[in-house]
Structures are given as structure tokens and as C-alpha cells.
Amino acid sequence: MAKNIKDITVGESFSASEEVDKYRAIYYAGASGDFNPIHIDPEIGKMVGLGGVILHGLCTFGFMTKTVTDWAGDPGTLKRIKCRFARPVHLGDTITTSGTVSKVQGNRVSIDLKVMSQEGVEVLAMATAEVEL
């Protein structure tokens, strides 16, 4: 159920975590059609200096988006979301997305997001979202 704008306050926060299981990059490659070897071949990932397979950036973006839409209660409320891809995500990582309401204006809610690895490294930077309730 979607949140009610009357119940949202500036400073309100929420978070969720996703574990990147060993098959996630393969699943995402199949769904997206992106079979770039850095996402599916550990040897190629090592050869190019990535330390092995890295997750598709848009899959990480999907984790972030899901956190926002789960909090809002309805994916149809999402009006805008953006970020900069900052660091690679590896298989076995746990990604935590934290959101803080920064502005409520009319029926629009602006959210500042932090997307971090289990090591405290920001993997998506300058992330923000806007929902309309």
C-alpha cells in the first residue's frame, strides 16, 4: 500500500540490503542481454584488473530502485531516480541502500540515497529519487 503524503516527514529514513549471490550476474545477463565478459567470466574480470566478475551497474541501480519503491509502497509513485556509478560490485558483496527524506513539497517527496558495500564503500554516488504520493 502506498504511503500517505501526510505521514512523511523530512529526515525520515529507511534502508534495505541485497546480497549479490554467485549467480546474480548470470541472471541479469540473461534478462538484459548484456553478456559482456567482465560480468560472466572470472578470468576476463581478473585480466582487466577488476578482481573477477563484477555485477552490472544497472543491476545495482535496480537494487537501489527497489528499496525506494518498497518504501513508497507502490512502484508507480517513482517519478525520478538517478546516480553516478562509482565502484564495482562483486559477487558475494552485500549492498545496502539507505534513504533519507530531504524535502516534501506538495505531493512530491525528494530522497537522498546512499548505496554502500559491506565494506562501507559507496558503489553508487550522488543518488537521489523523487516520488509522488
- Of these residues, 57, 95, 99, 111, which one is catalytic? 57
Q: How long is the chain?
A: 133
Clarify whether 74 is annotated catalytic.
no
What residue has cell string 513539497?
105
Clarify whether 34 is annotated catalytic.
yes
CA atoms within 13 A on the CB side of 129: 27
Clarify whether 76 is annotated catalytic.
no
- Of these residues, 5, 8, 34, 40, which one is catalytic? 34
- Of these residues, 38, 54, 95, 111, which one is catalytic? 54
- Kindly state the cell numbers that stand for 36: 559482456
Q: Strands of 13-19's sheet, edge to edge?
A: 13-19, 94-105, 108-116, 122-132, 78-85
Clarify whether 51 is annotated catalytic.
no
- Of these residues, 38, 39, 56, 95, which one is catalytic? 39
Catalytic residues: 34, 39, 54, 57
